């Protein structure tokens, strides 16, 4: 009798373990939840059209929770195709048992998205200073390897979110000058924005590494560090819009090279008014050569000053 009980218990254990392994690896293919996901997405935005080929039920071993997964779904926002790689929809286990499935989390990962596609989506969003800057000043580049993690309350109201990814080869216009080869990683949620591994090129100034942290509350605090390598002459300086009020300094020949570490803090109000700011710069291995077009006579030097 004991052997029979042991055998029965062992069989149940093996069966349970097999189910867990199967759900965590292969999963069960189903179409039962297609309409549920589409309806919930439509509740958030009626302009989004969604189509799924296959949906699988799988098990997240870390959190021991069931989730639905689909690869390369067809998603359109007002006629614009959004290249999504994978969608995971997490369900409350208790709601499945009651046969009233409730979504509490959605995780979306995307393929590479061109800036032109992002512009089409942003065009249909609410007006803002950020939207205006993006549409008018950002020209090229791609959004690469982004992940959107959305968490919901029981009523499918967004409770929390986290988004991370990276931008590559962004081109932006700052007044009449261009900043190119902009690359950076980012992660942000309701309270914090982190940007790191910043690289860019701007009119003889190359940013090799940098980071910016933005803490959002009633007062927004921005803190950043940028490590730049400069290689400037009078032509590059005179072509820079930001030096237009100081061009009298650069009528002569000038060569400026070296490394500069910039650090800054900015405090903004809720209406983005600058409340306070601080900026520091430290130079390293700096070389400056200033060659005058005409020699300068001075009582402090025996010879006329040329360079």
What is d(CA 307, CA 304) in angstroms, rounded to the nearest whole number? 9
CB 206 within 8 A of CB 232: no
Looking at residue 205, its pLDDT comes to 85
Of 2-11, 185-194, 205-214, the range with the lowest mean pLDDT is: 2-11
pLDDT, tens only, 238-279: 777 666 666 656 677 888 899 999 999 999 888 778 899 999
- Higher model confidence: residue 183 or residue 272? 183
Looking at residue 145, its pLDDT comes to 80
Mean pLDDT value across the chain: 80
pLDDT for residue 184 is more than 90: yes
pLDDT for residue 5 is more than 80: no
Mean pLDDT for 8-12 is 65
Mean pLDDT for 161-165 is 90
Looking at residue 212, its pLDDT comes to 94
Looking at residue 4, its pLDDT comes to 64
Looking at residue 226, its pLDDT comes to 92
Cβ contacts of 99 within 8 Å, gap of 6 or more: none
Looking at residue 22, its pLDDT comes to 55
- Higher model confidence: residue 259 or residue 59? 259
Mean pLDDT for 15-39 is 67
- Nearest CA to 64 out of 5, 106, 20, 7 is that of 20
Looking at residue 49, its pLDDT comes to 77
pLDDT for residue 99 is more than 90: no
Instruction: Count CB-CB contacts under 10 A for residue 109.
Output: 15
Of 44-53, 115-124, 160-169, 183-192, the range with the lowest mean pLDDT is: 44-53
Looking at residue 244, its pLDDT comes to 65
């Amino acid at each position: 009798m004991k052997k029979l009980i042991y055998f029965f218990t062992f069989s149940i254990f093996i069966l349970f373990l097999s189910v867990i392994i199967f759900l965590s690896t292969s999963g069960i293919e189903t179409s039962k939840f297609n309409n549920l996901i589409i309806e919930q997405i439509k509740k958030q935005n009626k302009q989004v059209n969604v189509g799924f080929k296959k949906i699988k039920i799988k098990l997240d071993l870390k959190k021991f929770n069931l989730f639905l997964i689909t690869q390369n779904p067809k998603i359109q926002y007002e006629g614009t195709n959004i290249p999504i790689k994978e969608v995971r929809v997490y369900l409350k286990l208790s709601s499945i048992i009651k046969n009233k499935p409730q979504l509490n989390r959605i995780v979306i990962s995307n393929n590479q998205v061109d800036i032109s596609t992002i512009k089409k989506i942003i065009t249909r969003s609410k007006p803002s200073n950020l939207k205006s800057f993006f549409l008018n000043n950002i020209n090229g580049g791609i959004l690469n390897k982004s992940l959107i993690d959305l968490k919901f309350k029981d009523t499918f109201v967004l409770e929390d979110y986290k988004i991370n990814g990276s931008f590559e080869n962004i081109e932006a216009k700052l007044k009449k000058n261009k900043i190119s080869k902009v690359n950076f990683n980012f992660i942000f949620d309701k309270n914090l924005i982190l940007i790191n591994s910043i690289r860019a090129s701007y009119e003889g100034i190359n940013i090799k590494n940098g980071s910016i942290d933005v803490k959002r509350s009633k007062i927004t605090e921005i803190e950043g560090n940028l490590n730049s390598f400069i290689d400037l002459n009078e032509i590059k300086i005179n072509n820079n819009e930001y030096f237009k009020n100081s061009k009298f300094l650069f009528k002569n020949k000038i060569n400026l090279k070296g490394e500069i570490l910039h650090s800054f803090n900015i405090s903004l109000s809720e209406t983005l008014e600058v409340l306070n700011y601080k900026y520091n710069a430290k130079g390293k291995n700096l070389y400056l050569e200033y060659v005058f077009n005409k020699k300068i006579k001075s009582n402090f030097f025996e010879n006329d000053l040329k360079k």
